[in-house]
Amino acid sequence: MMQIGSQGGYKMSLGHRIAVIGGTGVEDLPIFRDFRPKTVITKYGIVKLKQGFIGGRTVLFLLRHGPNYLAPHRINARANIMALKQEKVSRIFATAACGSLRREIKPGDLVVLLDFIDFTHNRIQVFEPADKPNFFDISEPYDRKLNQMICAAGKKLNIKVKKRAVYACTEGPRFETRAEIKAFRLLGADVVGMTQVPEVVLAAEAQIPYAAIGAVTNYAAGLQKKVSGEEVSGFMRKKAGDISRLLSEIII
Protein backbone atom coordinates (compact mmCIF):
# COMPACT_ATOMS: atom_id res chain seq x y z
CA MET A 1 0.00 0.00 0.00
CA MET A 2 1.20 3.53 -0.84
CA GLN A 3 1.60 5.75 2.17
CA ILE A 4 2.04 9.52 2.34
CA GLY A 5 5.45 10.36 3.78
CA SER A 6 6.40 13.14 6.17
CA GLN A 7 7.77 15.30 3.35
CA GLY A 8 4.54 15.10 1.34
CA GLY A 9 5.92 12.41 -0.96
CA TYR A 10 4.91 8.78 -1.18
CA LYS A 11 6.46 5.83 0.61
CA MET A 12 5.94 2.13 -0.02
CA SER A 13 5.26 -0.67 2.40
CA LEU A 14 7.92 -3.29 3.07
CA GLY A 15 5.92 -5.82 1.07
CA HIS A 16 6.57 -4.06 -2.22
CA ARG A 17 9.19 -5.51 -4.55
CA ILE A 18 10.83 -2.60 -6.34
CA ALA A 19 12.73 -2.67 -9.61
CA VAL A 20 15.34 -0.21 -10.84
CA ILE A 21 16.30 -0.15 -14.52
CA GLY A 22 19.71 1.42 -15.04
CA GLY A 23 20.73 2.88 -18.36
CA THR A 24 23.94 4.18 -19.88
CA GLY A 25 26.64 5.15 -17.39
CA VAL A 26 24.96 3.76 -14.26
CA GLU A 27 26.09 0.17 -14.57
CA ASP A 28 27.77 0.24 -11.16
CA LEU A 29 25.64 2.35 -8.85
CA PRO A 30 27.01 2.13 -5.28
CA ILE A 31 23.70 1.06 -3.71
CA PHE A 32 23.61 -2.12 -5.82
CA ARG A 33 27.23 -3.30 -5.49
CA ASP A 34 26.44 -5.97 -2.88
CA PHE A 35 23.48 -7.39 -4.79
CA ARG A 36 23.60 -10.99 -5.97
CA PRO A 37 23.12 -12.10 -9.60
CA LYS A 38 19.78 -13.58 -10.54
CA THR A 39 18.71 -15.12 -13.86
CA VAL A 40 15.11 -14.96 -15.04
CA ILE A 41 13.90 -17.03 -18.00
CA THR A 42 11.03 -15.53 -20.01
CA LYS A 43 9.37 -16.55 -23.26
CA TYR A 44 11.11 -13.55 -24.86
CA GLY A 45 14.60 -14.33 -23.66
CA ILE A 46 16.88 -14.73 -20.64
CA VAL A 47 17.41 -11.71 -18.41
CA LYS A 48 20.27 -11.16 -15.97
CA LEU A 49 19.30 -9.23 -12.86
CA LYS A 50 20.78 -8.39 -9.50
CA GLN A 51 18.74 -8.79 -6.33
CA GLY A 52 19.25 -7.46 -2.83
CA PHE A 53 17.68 -5.58 0.03
CA ILE A 54 17.52 -1.87 0.78
CA GLY A 55 15.75 -0.69 3.90
CA GLY A 56 14.23 -4.14 4.36
CA ARG A 57 12.67 -4.12 0.89
CA THR A 58 13.49 -6.53 -1.93
CA VAL A 59 15.01 -4.60 -4.82
CA LEU A 60 15.82 -5.87 -8.31
CA PHE A 61 18.37 -4.06 -10.45
CA LEU A 62 18.29 -4.54 -14.22
CA LEU A 63 20.81 -3.17 -16.68
CA ARG A 64 18.73 -1.99 -19.62
CA HIS A 65 21.49 -2.60 -22.16
CA GLY A 66 22.53 -5.94 -20.64
CA PRO A 67 25.96 -7.06 -19.39
CA ASN A 68 27.53 -6.72 -22.86
CA TYR A 69 25.88 -3.40 -23.71
CA LEU A 70 23.38 -3.76 -26.52
CA ALA A 71 22.75 -0.73 -28.70
CA PRO A 72 19.40 0.98 -28.02
CA HIS A 73 17.64 -0.50 -31.07
CA ARG A 74 18.70 -4.03 -30.04
CA ILE A 75 17.52 -3.97 -26.41
CA ASN A 76 15.11 -6.81 -25.66
CA ALA A 77 12.61 -4.66 -23.78
CA ARG A 78 9.92 -7.36 -23.86
CA ALA A 79 12.19 -9.79 -22.01
CA ASN A 80 13.27 -7.10 -19.54
CA ILE A 81 9.77 -6.01 -18.56
CA MET A 82 8.39 -9.56 -18.58
CA ALA A 83 11.19 -10.66 -16.23
CA LEU A 84 10.18 -7.93 -13.78
CA LYS A 85 6.53 -8.89 -14.09
CA GLN A 86 7.39 -12.54 -13.40
CA GLU A 87 9.32 -11.39 -10.34
CA LYS A 88 6.13 -9.62 -9.19
CA VAL A 89 7.61 -6.15 -8.87
CA SER A 90 5.04 -3.50 -8.02
CA ARG A 91 6.99 -0.39 -9.06
CA ILE A 92 9.70 0.41 -11.60
CA PHE A 93 12.10 3.35 -11.34
CA ALA A 94 14.36 3.89 -14.34
CA THR A 95 17.22 6.14 -15.34
CA ALA A 96 17.51 7.56 -18.83
CA ALA A 97 20.37 9.53 -20.35
CA CYS A 98 19.00 12.26 -22.58
CA GLY A 99 19.98 15.31 -24.57
CA SER A 100 18.39 18.70 -24.02
CA LEU A 101 16.33 20.44 -26.70
CA ARG A 102 16.02 23.65 -24.69
CA ARG A 103 18.66 26.04 -23.38
CA GLU A 104 16.97 26.27 -19.98
CA ILE A 105 17.46 22.50 -19.46
CA LYS A 106 21.21 22.27 -19.00
CA PRO A 107 23.71 19.38 -19.06
CA GLY A 108 23.89 18.07 -15.51
CA ASP A 109 20.19 18.65 -14.81
CA LEU A 110 17.92 15.86 -13.64
CA VAL A 111 14.34 15.84 -14.94
CA VAL A 112 11.23 13.80 -14.21
CA LEU A 113 9.78 12.42 -17.44
CA LEU A 114 6.12 13.33 -17.87
CA ASP A 115 5.24 12.09 -21.35
CA PHE A 116 6.85 10.93 -24.59
CA ILE A 117 6.64 11.32 -28.34
CA ASP A 118 7.60 8.19 -30.26
CA PHE A 119 9.84 8.52 -33.30
CA THR A 120 11.02 4.91 -33.37
CA HIS A 121 10.08 2.83 -36.41
CA ASN A 122 11.37 -0.71 -36.01
CA ARG A 123 10.50 -1.85 -32.47
CA ILE A 124 7.92 -4.31 -31.18
CA GLN A 125 5.86 -2.39 -28.64
CA VAL A 126 3.52 -5.07 -27.28
CA PHE A 127 4.01 -8.50 -25.74
CA GLU A 128 1.76 -10.48 -28.06
CA PRO A 129 1.13 -9.10 -31.54
CA ALA A 130 -2.03 -10.88 -32.65
CA ASP A 131 -5.09 -10.63 -34.89
CA LYS A 132 -7.05 -9.31 -31.91
CA PRO A 133 -5.09 -6.31 -30.60
CA ASN A 134 -4.70 -5.66 -26.90
CA PHE A 135 -5.81 -2.04 -26.53
CA PHE A 136 -4.64 -0.33 -23.36
CA ASP A 137 -4.54 3.24 -22.10
CA ILE A 138 -1.25 5.14 -22.05
CA SER A 139 -2.53 8.70 -21.66
CA GLU A 140 -0.35 8.99 -18.54
CA PRO A 141 2.64 6.71 -19.20
CA TYR A 142 4.67 7.88 -16.20
CA ASP A 143 3.06 7.25 -12.82
CA ARG A 144 2.12 10.48 -11.06
CA LYS A 145 2.71 9.20 -7.53
CA LEU A 146 6.13 7.81 -8.38
CA ASN A 147 7.05 11.13 -10.01
CA GLN A 148 6.03 12.87 -6.78
CA MET A 149 8.28 10.52 -4.84
CA ILE A 150 11.26 11.46 -7.03
CA CYS A 151 10.61 15.18 -6.60
CA ALA A 152 10.12 14.83 -2.82
CA ALA A 153 13.39 12.88 -2.52
CA GLY A 154 15.23 15.52 -4.51
CA LYS A 155 13.87 18.30 -2.30
CA LYS A 156 14.84 16.45 0.88
CA LEU A 157 18.37 15.76 -0.36
CA ASN A 158 18.82 19.22 -1.91
CA ILE A 159 19.24 17.64 -5.35
CA LYS A 160 17.51 19.79 -7.94
CA VAL A 161 15.05 17.80 -10.03
CA LYS A 162 13.01 19.58 -12.69
CA LYS A 163 9.43 18.42 -12.36
CA ARG A 164 8.41 17.70 -15.93
CA ALA A 165 9.90 16.99 -19.32
CA VAL A 166 8.51 15.50 -22.52
CA TYR A 167 10.85 12.88 -24.00
CA ALA A 168 11.29 12.36 -27.74
CA CYS A 169 12.37 8.77 -28.39
CA THR A 170 14.36 8.10 -31.56
CA GLU A 171 15.40 4.81 -33.13
CA GLY A 172 19.17 5.15 -32.83
CA PRO A 173 21.93 4.22 -32.70
CA ARG A 174 22.78 7.37 -34.63
CA PHE A 175 22.25 10.73 -33.00
CA GLU A 176 19.70 13.11 -34.43
CA THR A 177 20.14 15.76 -37.12
CA ARG A 178 19.75 19.47 -36.46
CA ALA A 179 16.53 19.52 -38.48
CA GLU A 180 15.09 16.63 -36.47
CA ILE A 181 15.89 18.35 -33.19
CA LYS A 182 14.24 21.55 -34.39
CA ALA A 183 11.13 19.56 -35.36
CA PHE A 184 11.01 17.73 -32.02
CA ARG A 185 11.22 21.04 -30.18
CA LEU A 186 8.38 22.51 -32.24
CA LEU A 187 6.25 19.45 -31.41
CA GLY A 188 6.68 20.06 -27.68
CA ALA A 189 9.53 17.75 -26.71
CA ASP A 190 12.04 18.92 -24.09
CA VAL A 191 14.64 16.13 -24.14
CA VAL A 192 15.64 13.37 -26.54
CA GLY A 193 16.88 9.82 -26.09
CA MET A 194 16.74 6.33 -27.56
CA THR A 195 15.50 3.96 -24.86
CA GLN A 196 12.16 4.91 -23.30
CA VAL A 197 10.07 3.32 -26.05
CA PRO A 198 9.00 0.54 -25.91
CA GLU A 199 10.11 0.11 -22.27
CA VAL A 200 7.53 2.47 -20.76
CA VAL A 201 4.83 1.17 -23.14
CA LEU A 202 5.44 -2.44 -22.11
CA ALA A 203 5.37 -1.45 -18.43
CA ALA A 204 1.95 0.08 -19.06
CA GLU A 205 0.74 -3.10 -20.79
CA ALA A 206 2.08 -5.16 -17.88
CA GLN A 207 0.28 -2.78 -15.48
CA ILE A 208 3.44 -1.96 -13.52
CA PRO A 209 3.64 1.70 -12.39
CA TYR A 210 6.74 3.23 -13.99
CA ALA A 211 8.75 6.43 -13.52
CA ALA A 212 12.01 7.63 -15.04
CA ILE A 213 14.70 10.05 -13.94
CA GLY A 214 16.13 11.73 -17.01
CA ALA A 215 19.76 12.74 -16.66
CA VAL A 216 20.67 15.46 -19.14
CA THR A 217 24.14 14.74 -20.50
CA ASN A 218 24.43 17.25 -23.35
CA TYR A 219 22.65 19.69 -25.61
CA ALA A 220 21.21 18.03 -28.72
CA ALA A 221 22.36 18.64 -32.29
CA GLY A 222 22.27 22.30 -33.25
CA LEU A 223 22.56 23.47 -29.66
CA GLN A 224 26.16 22.35 -29.33
CA LYS A 225 28.84 21.69 -31.92
CA LYS A 226 28.99 17.88 -31.70
CA VAL A 227 27.44 14.99 -29.75
CA SER A 228 29.32 11.79 -28.86
CA GLY A 229 28.57 8.54 -27.07
CA GLU A 230 31.64 9.01 -24.87
CA GLU A 231 30.30 12.36 -23.69
CA VAL A 232 26.95 10.80 -22.76
CA SER A 233 28.36 7.84 -20.79
CA GLY A 234 31.00 9.99 -19.08
CA PHE A 235 28.47 12.56 -17.93
CA MET A 236 26.15 9.84 -16.61
CA ARG A 237 28.94 8.44 -14.46
CA LYS A 238 29.41 11.89 -12.94
CA LYS A 239 25.73 11.91 -11.94
CA ALA A 240 25.81 8.36 -10.51
CA GLY A 241 26.23 9.62 -6.95
CA ASP A 242 23.17 11.88 -7.06
CA ILE A 243 21.12 9.18 -8.76
CA SER A 244 22.16 6.63 -6.10
CA ARG A 245 21.15 9.00 -3.30
CA LEU A 246 17.81 9.72 -4.93
CA LEU A 247 16.99 6.05 -5.45
CA SER A 248 18.08 5.13 -1.93
CA GLU A 249 15.85 7.83 -0.44
CA ILE A 250 12.89 6.76 -2.58
CA ILE A 251 13.27 3.07 -1.71
CA ILE A 252 13.88 3.51 2.01
Segment 199-228 shows an average pLDDT of 90
Q: Distance between CA atoms of 139 and 161, rounded to whole angstroms?
A: 23
Number of helical H runs and strand E runs in the chain? 5, 11
Characterize the bridge pairing of strands 45-54 and 57-63: antiparallel
Mean per-residue pLDDT of the chain: 89
How confident is the model over 91-102, as pLDDT tens digits? 999 999 999 999
| Bigger pLDDT: 64 vs 16 | 64
Cα(158)–Cα(242) distance, integer angstroms: 10
pLDDT reported for residue 130: 63
Q: Is there a cis peptide before residue 133, judged by omega within 30 degrees of 0?
A: no
Average pLDDT over residues 182-207: 97
Cα separations in angstroms, 140 against 23, 143, 155, 166, 175: 22, 7, 24, 12, 27
Q: Are 235 and 241 in contact (CB under 8 A)?
A: no
Which range has the worst mean pLDDT, 21-25, 154-158, 219-223?
Answer: 21-25
Q: What is the DSSP string of 59-116?
A: EEEEETTTTTT--GGG--HHHHHHHHHHTT-SEEEEEEEEEESSTTS-TT-EEEEEEE
Q: Can you list the domains of the chain with their CATH numbers? A: 2-251 (3.40.50.1580)
pLDDT, one tens digit per residue, over 43-88 is 999 999 999 999 889 999 999 999 888 999 999 999 999 999 999 9
Residue 89 is predicted with a pLDDT of 97
Is 50 exceeded by the pLDDT of residue 9? no
pLDDT at 8 over 80: no
DSSP state letter for 176 = P
